[in-house]
Amino acid sequence: MPAGSVPLRSAEPALLESPAVLAAALEAYFAFDATGRVVAWNPAAETTFGYSTAQACGRSIEELIVRPEARVAGRAEVAALACGEPGQTLDRRRQWMAWHADGHAFPVEMTLTATDEPGGRVFHAFAHDITTARRARRFTAVEAAVARGLAEADSSATAAARVVEALGVKMDWPVAELWLADDDRQLLTCAARHVQPGRRLRDFALDQLEPRVGLPGRVYAEARSLWIPDLSADSGSIRSRAAARAGLRVAVGVPLCTGRHILGALCIYGDRAEDPEDTLMSLLSGLAAQVGQYVERRRAEELTIELARTKDEFLAMVTHELRNPLAAITGTAALFNDDLDELTRDEQREYLQIITRNAERLSIMAEDLLDLARLESGHLAINATATDLCTVIEQAVHAATPAEDKQLTIALHLPEQLELYADPHRLRQVADNLIGNAIKYTPAGGTITITASSDDVEQNIRWTVADTGIGIPAAERPRLFRRFYRASTALDLRIPGTGLGLVITRAIVERHHGTITLAEHHGPGTTFTVDLPVKPQ
């Protein structure tokens, strides 16, 4: 071998003698003749394309480094070059997607020149992998798009949409989602989802998830980033399998945090992960931190507005809910006084009933407001003792008096006894509120069904109150347990109420280490489910 030549293995056809500088070059160098056969292949080409010099030399260039779907075009390009045409590549700097020996495509930048050698024309290529440079450019573009999206957004919803769009479009991920937890940290809602045009997600496209369920739920509950390399093999989640059915293979999720709190999760789903796990995670974590700060800032602004609104609502409620019964009491008392001599005994009784009913309404409201104040200051007392839930429910049903013309049916499905460790007075408050609401919000002829039973191991009691009444629109359900919140169905029908009962009810249930939820309800009406532990916690 002449001094200074690259140690290229001898093979068919005759190999080109190359200077030693090419053996040392960091740039991949390869050469091919007019038939497309490789005649030189330096060590950097071995690393870049994954074939050893021995494997590459003598084989056709397009078979080695052109993607299968582009090989026909590659052959045409070599044929054009052989005929002395410049083709698309000769004497140009070009970027294109090359093919690696292990079967993956990657971007390269390449220059191609030609020399005339004794054996004919030879084409010389210098190429380098530009994956990292492209990634850096893509990441910068995403970061800029997210920053711009957040700066220009006039609401959290627009900001969320811009973030997922930037991730999906600029990073070429088929699905990007931003999930936010509600105020009670009980439910995650998909605030925005970007889906590649033409892709059908079917049962994967859920809008609400509980913490711990699916990738967003797990990322949120565990407060850490998760990488699922193969969605179809992810036995921990039903949603992963739905994702796999929608043609998605890999998924990455990072928590959306502000340093102090976890607010939700940012998740992307794709056919393949082009970028290394740690690089992608750090990009996503950076974006999630940016989005988290934005969401927290907006929430603080929204909270200020909400507080002002709550104050207004409180004033409106007090004015309305106090004024009406007071007006009824004073008006009836005045009539009673004026007409006392002419009133029959039945009329007197009727007037007194009106006064009593309205006075009770006022006293319940005063109690609720006091309980709310105790709740806010953390002083809602619970005096637990051995309590029979069936007795509590039966007494509440007995005391509840639906107006006679309503003709409601109240069906009780209770065992003989259901003993648990709880405060009987507070449980009675829960029963009064749930049963009272069911009666109040169910029109004439409806049915109220109350069930309670313990689980197989007698550890927990499930108690449900279902009615066939006016119902609560699905979109309003997440707000139901907020102070003063009243559903549009109740407001539209002008049914009186304060929006305090459920807040207090939930606080009592939670102080017993239980939960209260609005259950899935089929047909018109509402079902509340209360789960309570039997033993002291």
Binding residues vs ligand ADP (CB under 6 A) = 433, 437-438, 441, 467, 469-472, 480, 485-487, 489-490, 497-502, 526
| Residue whose CB is nearest to ligand ADP in the complex, by number | 497
- Could you please report the per-residue DSSP string of 316-353? HHHHHHHHHHHHHHHHHHHHHHHHTTT--HHHHHHHHH
CB of 205 to ligand ADP, least distance (A): 29
Residue pointed to by tokens 């532990």: 533
CB of 367 to ligand ADP, least distance (A): 12
Q: Which residue's CB is nearer to ligand ADP, number 293 or number 451?
A: 451
- Could you please report the per-residue DSSP string of 134-153? HHHHHHHHHHHHHHHHHHH-
Residue 174: CB atoms within 10 Å: 20
CB of 287 to ligand ADP, least distance (A): 38
Q: Which residue's CB is nearer to ligand ADP, number 269 or number 441?
A: 441
The DSSP bridge pattern shows strands 38-41 and 175-181 to be unpaired
Closest CA to 484 of 258, 320, 297, 250: 320
CB of 180 to ligand ADP, least distance (A): 23
CB of 502 to ligand ADP, least distance (A): 3
In whole angstroms, what separates CA 394 from the centre of its chain?
41
- Strands laid side by side in the 526-533 sheet: 409-413, 447-454, 460-467, 526-533, 515-518
Closest CA to 450 of 461, 463, 460, 433: 463
Q: Which residue's CB is nearer to ligand ADP, number 187 or number 438?
A: 438
Determine contact, residues 210/293, Cβ cutoff 8 Å. Answer: no
Determine contact, residues 45/61, Cβ cutoff 8 Å. Answer: no
CB of 497 to ligand ADP, least distance (A): 2
What distance in Å separates the CA atoms of residue 172 and residue 159, rounded to the nearest whole number? 19
Q: Which residue's CB is nearer to ligand ADP, number 460 or number 489?
A: 489
CB of 375 to ligand ADP, least distance (A): 13
Determine contact, residues 360/399, Cβ cutoff 8 Å. Answer: no
Q: Which residue's CB is nearer to ligand ADP, number 113 or number 464?
A: 464
CB of 387 to ligand ADP, least distance (A): 22
CB of 355 to ligand ADP, least distance (A): 21
> Coil, helix or strand for 393?
helix
State both tokens at 72: 């026909």
Q: Which residue's CB is nearer to ligand ADP, number 168 or number 501?
A: 501
Residue pointed to by tokens 């200051």: 377
Return all residues near 193 (Cβ < 8 A) that are at least 6 apart. 164, 175, 176, 177, 178, 205
CB of 378 to ligand ADP, least distance (A): 20
> Coil, helix or strand for 28?
strand
CB of 518 to ligand ADP, least distance (A): 9
CA angle 225-229-235, nearest 5°? 90
Amino acid (one-letter) located at 159:
A
Q: Which residue's CB is nearer to ligand ADP, number 43 or number 469?
A: 469
CB of 137 to ligand ADP, least distance (A): 52
Q: Which residue's CB is nearer to ligand ADP, number 106 or number 485?
A: 485
Q: Which residue's CB is nearer to ligand ADP, number 78 or number 502?
A: 502
What distance in Å separates the CA atoms of residue 92 and residue 98, rounded to the nearest whole number? 16
What distance in Å separates the CA atoms of residue 250 and residue 151, rounded to the nearest whole number? 30
CB of 510 to ligand ADP, least distance (A): 15
Q: Which residue's CB is nearer to ligand ADP, number 187 or number 231?
A: 187
Q: Which residue's CB is nearer to ligand ADP, number 136 or number 474?
A: 474
Torsional class of 373: left (φ above 0), alpha (ψ -120 to 50), beta (otherwise): alpha
Q: Which residue's CB is nearer to ligand ADP, number 195 or number 490?
A: 490
Residue 260: CB atoms within 10 Å: 7
Determine contact, residues 361/404, Cβ cutoff 8 Å. Answer: no
What distance in Å separates the CA atoms of residue 190 and residue 511, rounded to the nearest whole number? 30
Which one-letter DSSP state was computed for residue 154?
S
Q: Which residue's CB is nearer to ligand ADP, number 340 or number 493?
A: 493
State both tokens at 106: 């990657």
